[in-house]
Structure 1
Amino acid sequence: MNITIVAGARPNFMKIAPIINVLKRKKLAGYDLNFRLVHTGQHYDNSLSGAFFEELGIPYPDVNLEVKSGTQAEQTGAIMIGFEKELQKNPSDLVLVVGDVTSTMACTLVAKKSGIKVAHVEAGIRSGDMKMPEEINRIVTDSLTDYFFTTSKLASNNLIKLGVDSNQVFFVGNVMIDTLKTHESRFKQPEIWKSLGLKQKHYFVMTLHRPSNVDEAQNIEAILKQISSLSKDYPIVFPVHPRTKKLLQSLNLSYKNLYYTEPLGYLEFNFLVKHAFGVITDSGGISEETTIMNVPCVTLRENTERPETCEIGTNILVGKDPIKIENAFKTLFSGTWKQAQVPALWDGHAADRIISQLIKTYHL
């Protein structure tokens, strides 16, 4: 059986790493499992993608489509053209896509039009926010997928309510947590730990990348000003996404306890998260990791496709509401932040369940 695995952006690499490790193990055990790794090049900055291959033990891609940046339409079109040529040269029995980035949707479309079945890892999650490009990617991908691997029972139920055959839906857990548990003992202190004089549980980590937060100057200026003033002079470490960096440079925003850094590798970034007093973010994936590491997480969004991180995890949603943001910081500094429970099957073995199901499905 020949499987084509697609990755295009930083979150994808964390999700494919455990899947590839299990595939290698099963092949050594005698199963007819071969894979080809396709990097679409959607994230092309080495600090956003290249370093991840070494850190997470992922083999370098068999091909990089090198689509790079562009409008949504330009990027989608470039991925589809490149991936169609890839499948023509290297026929596949199954295309496996992960997450909800543009590459996920574009490669699903190409696979289905080429008569190839698709497996979607992290299927069924929904934010209900059609202003998010990722939500559209999820809907399109799940409308075409053949095998749905979900992170929660809610995600499975979302699909079944839409009419997906329950025999095609498999609740397997969260591959992001597989990666976290595999590499947690290898987290390493970044250089800025010493240069900033950071102390455990006495600093914040912040990440922002969503257009609603970073594409308008007044939005990001208001966010940074309030968070800086509420943080009681705790250092705020802000690894800056390339999208955000351009705007910050044009605005020349500077606050005495806010420290901009280049994007960090997986091991260094999660070292900072694990030892932080709290995390401020607009990322869904980070709220999963903070839940498992029991670190308070303040999410600057009105909604989330990962409600379990709020219901039983450490995450709360504050949007851009100054009052909600202020209340979150009051709770943090009062020492009464909620403690996390571990969502079902977020146990580090999701990839094993995925590959075991594919072996069963294909009678290998």
Structure 2
Amino acid sequence: MLISIIAGARPNFMKIAPIIDAIQKAKDKGHYISYRLIHTGQHYDKKMSGDFFEQLGIPEPDANLEAGGGTQAEQTAAIMVRFEKELLENRPELVLVVGDVTSTMACAIAAQKLHVPVAHVEAGIRSGDWTMPEEINRLVTDSISNYFFTTTEIANNNLVKSGVKPEHIFFVGNTMIDTLLKQMPKFAQPSFWNDFGLEKQKYLVMTLHRPSNVDDPEQLRKLLNVLEKGTEQLPIIFPMHPRTRNNIEKFGISLNNVKVVDPLGYLEFNYLVQHAKGVVTDSGGITEETTVMGVPCMTLRTTTERPETCTIGTNELLGTDPKALEDALHVLFSGNWKKGSIPELWDGKTAERMVDVLLKLDYSKGNAVAQ
């Protein structure tokens, strides 16, 4: 049984690493299972791709489609054309896509056009915000997938409501947490730790990249001003997305307590998060990691596709009003942030459960269920 595993962008890499490990272990035990790792090249620079492969022990891809750059439509088209050729030359029994990036949707479409079944890892999550490209990717991918691996019961319910048969849904947990728990002992102090005089629990971490936060100069100024004034002079470490950096320079925004650094590797970034007083972000995946590590998290978005990080975990969805951020910082520094707990099956064994399912599927039928 050959499975094509798709990785294209930084969020994918944390999710595929444990799946590859689990497949290799099953193969070593004599199970008839193998994989081809396909890197679409959606993220093609060293910091966004290469470092993650090295740090997470992901093997070199069997194929790199080198489809980075261009508009979303151009990138989608390039990935589909090149992945179609890959499928024709190396036809698998199953294509496995993860997450919600452009590569996920594009490869799912190409596979189904050639009648190759598709399994979607992290299926069923929804923000309800169609202005997010990721939401469109999720909706399209789930509408044409055959098998659905989910992270929560909330995702299960979303899929059932959309018409997916329950027997095609497999609640296995969160592979990104598999990676987090495995790599935690290897977290590495960033090189700038001493240069900035950082101490554990005496700094914040921030990531911002969404247009609603960084494209409007007034909005960006207000958010950064709240952070400069509301963090009791603690430094704020900001691994800055190139787009955000360009906007800050273009808008002429000066920074004081905010320490701008280049994008970090997985081990360095999560070391920072693990030991931070709190995290301010507009990302999704980071809210899962902070929940598992018990770190207070403030999300500057009006919607989230990961509501369990708020209802169960340490995350609070603040919206984009700077006043809400000011109030949240007050709660944090007064010592009243909620403790949170860890969602069901976020235990580091998700990939093992997933491979157990993969070994039982009947691939002669695209809509078959586990035997």
Percent of aligned positions that are identical: 58
Query: What's 1:319 paired with?
Result: 319
Q: Report the secondary structure of 1:4's partner residue.
A: strand
Shift in Å, 1:220: 2.1
- Match of 2:205, SS state, is strand
CA contact (8 A) 2:173 2:344 kept: yes
The equivalent residue for 1:110 is 110
Task: List aligned pairs for 1:226-237, cutoff 5 A.
Answer: 226-237=226-237
Q: Match for 1:123: what amino acid? A: A
**In structure 2, what is the equivalent of residue 90 of structure 1?**
90
Give distance in 1, aligned partners of 2:45 and 2:245: 13
Partner residue, 1:137: 137
Q: CA separation in 1, counterparts of 2:165 and 2:37?
A: 29
Q: Which residue of 2 aligns with 1:22?
A: 22
Deviation at 1:20, TM superposition (A): 0.3
**Alpha-carbon distance in structure 2 between the residues aligned to 1:110 and 1:166:** 25
Q: Does 98-107 or 78-87 show the bigger shift?
A: 78-87
Q: Give the Cα–Cα distance (whole angstroms) in 2 for the partners of residues 325 and 248 of structure 1.
A: 19
Q: Which residue of 2 aligns with 1:347?
A: 347
Unmatched 5+ residue regions in structure 1? Answer: none
Partner amino acid, structure 1, of 2:60 = Y
Q: Does the residue aligned with 2:48 lie in a helix, a strand or coil?
A: coil
2:367 is matched with none
The equivalent residue for 1:161 is: 161
Mapped partners of 1:78, 1:25: distance in 2: 33
Structure 2 partner of 1:360: 360
Q: Give the Cα–Cα distance (whole angstroms) in 2 for the partners of residues 8 and 325 of structure 1.
A: 33
The structural deviation recorded for 1:322 is 2.1
2:251 & 2:66 partners in 1: Cα distance?
A: 31
* Structure 1 vs Structure 2 CA RMSD: 1.2
Is 1:261 the equivalent of 2:261?
Answer: yes
Q: Which amino acid in structure 2 is aligned with residue 35 of structure 1?
A: Y
What secondary structure does 1:141 align onto? Answer: helix
Residue identity opposite 1:182 in structure 2: K
* Structure 2 gap ranges (5+): 363-369
The ranges of structure 1 where at least 4 consecutive aligned residues each deviate by more than 3 angstroms after the TM superposition are none
The match for 2:238 is 238
TM-score between both structures, scaled by the size of structure 2: 0.96
TM value normalised by structure 1? 0.98
1:269-284, aligned counterparts within 5 Å?
A: 269-284=269-284
Cα deviation, 1:233-258, whole Å, max 9, x if unaligned, reads 11000001122222223234222111
Paired residues for 1:1-364 under 5 Å: 1-362=1-362
| Inter-partner Cα distance in structure 1 for 2:219 and 2:265 | 27
CA–CA distance in 2 between the matches of 1:64 and 1:253? 39
Deviation of residue 283 (structure 1)?
A: 0.7
Which whole-Å CA distance do the structure 1 matches of 2:152 and 2:234 have between them? 35
Match of 2:366 in 1: none
Residue 189 of structure 1 aligns to a residue whose secondary structure is: coil
* 1:217 positional shift: 2.7
